[in-house]
Amino acid sequence: MDLQNNSIQKYHPLTMLIYFSAELLIVMFSANPILTATALVAGMAFYSDLKGAKVFLKEFIIILPIFILIAVTNPIFSRDGSTLVFSVLGLSVYYESILYGAQIAGMLIAVIFWFRCLSELLTTDKSLFLFGRFFSKLSLMLTLSLRYIKLFAEQSKRIRNAQKTMGMFSSQSYVDKAKSTMRILSSLITWALESSIDTSNSMKARGYGLKGRKSYDTYRFSKKDYIAISFSVLFAFLTVFGIGRGALAFDFYPSISYKAFSPLSIAAYASFIVLSFMPLFCKAKESIKWKFFMLKI
């Protein structure tokens, strides 16, 4: 898995940004359930491959209630549709509202998983490399903010474990638990202030913000980056072209209606499927190549 993950991370940051932007924009601005289902399955498979099945299942169990909540509550607030499923206490639930709620929930969860894959691959140094030259201050603030969210969570866990070792959190009283939580918060704030001072001194010592200072980076475009960008743009263009020509039109209200399959719609669907599963295809290719070379040794 490490070898395969490194094969994806070796792509240029701009290549990753273009690919994820194409995938996310299509998912967020299309209301086609086939596209949403494809993005959802691909995003979950990609995230599971990056983080492992255990981490994926743990987060999926947390996110699953969001899907259920949106799918269930949408018919309550949206009473449009033509196919009545049932009516209780004056509340009419329509088949179209249920499907539209599932569509919105699936799109939201797909976007969440794809953004998590993006944050896993587009690390802090890559983000600074992409945006530092144009939006240096904003890029630095966003990068540090995202970095400290993870650091705060890890430090909070360390402080909590240390206090448990000292016998705290042993009482079942809500008052004692609140006091222990406040002690964690106090320690965390102190640590954050000290850490920010250390970070500021480190940046000052390295000459950050000085005129003429250049950033060192090792990211260079390679042949595989040009190939990946070309395929990403091509498949995204074919999908968007199909959407723009109405070949993938899908309406939920007032009744379910959609365009029949045509050569253009099939090409657009196939393009988006390939686009969504491109990272897994690339990793599978690298894995096969690696095993082939190992057999020749």
Q: Under a CB-based contact definition with an 8 Å cutoff, are residues 155 and 188 in contact? A: yes
Give the confidence band of 276 by pLDDT, cuts at 50, 70, 90: very high
Q: What is the pLDDT of residue 217?
A: 61
Q: Give the model confidence (pLDDT) of 125-171 as tens digits.
A: 777 777 666 666 666 666 666 667 777 778 888 888 887 777 766 66
Which helix (H) or strand (E) segment is 117 a member of? Answer: helix 95-121
Number of Cβ within a 10 Å radius of residue 71? 19
Q: What is the pLDDT of residue 111?
A: 92
* DSSP letters spanning 228-273: HHHHHHHHHHHHHHHHHTTTT-EE-SSS-EEPPP-HHHHHHHHHHH
Q: What is the pLDDT of residue 3?
A: 40
Mean pLDDT estimate for the chain:
81
Handedness of CA 194, 195, 196, 202 (dihedral sign): positive
pLDDT > 90: percent of the chain:
23
Q: Give the model confidence (pLDDT) of 44-87 as tens digits.
A: 999 998 888 888 898 888 888 888 888 778 777 776 777 777 77
Give pTM, 2 decimals: 0.73
Q: What is the pLDDT of residue 133?
A: 63
Q: What is the pLDDT of residue 171?
A: 63
pLDDT mean over 210-231: 77
Most confident by average pLDDT, 19-28, 66-75, 115-124, 126-135:
19-28
Q: Which residue has the higher pLDDT, 10 or 293?
A: 10
Q: Which residue has the higher pLDDT, 213 or 257?
A: 257
Q: Which residue has the higher pLDDT, 92 or 185?
A: 185
* DSSP letters spanning 6-54: HHHHTS-HHHHHHHHHHHHHHHHT---HHHHHHHHHHHHHHHHHHH-HH
Cα–Cα dist 155/192, whole Å = 9
Cα–Cα dist 207/212, whole Å = 10
Q: What is the pLDDT of residue 135?
A: 61
- CA count, 13 A, side-chain hemisphere, 87: 5
Q: Give the model confidence (pLDDT) of 161-214 as tens digits.
A: 887 777 766 666 777 777 777 888 888 888 878 877 887 777 777 666 666 666
pLDDT mean over 236-257: 88
Most confident by average pLDDT, 30-39, 57-66, 120-129:
30-39
Cα–Cα dist 8/12, whole Å = 9
Nearest to 16 by CA among 137, 145, 115: 115
Cα–Cα dist 108/243, whole Å = 20
- CA count, 13 A, side-chain hemisphere, 252: 20
Q: Under a CB-based contact definition with an 8 Å cutoff, are residues 226 and 209 in contact? A: no
Nearest to 228 by CA among 141, 153, 121: 121
Give the confidence band of 5 by pLDDT, cuts at 50, 70, 90: very low
Contacts of 160 by beta carbon, 8 Å cutoff, 6+ apart: 169, 184
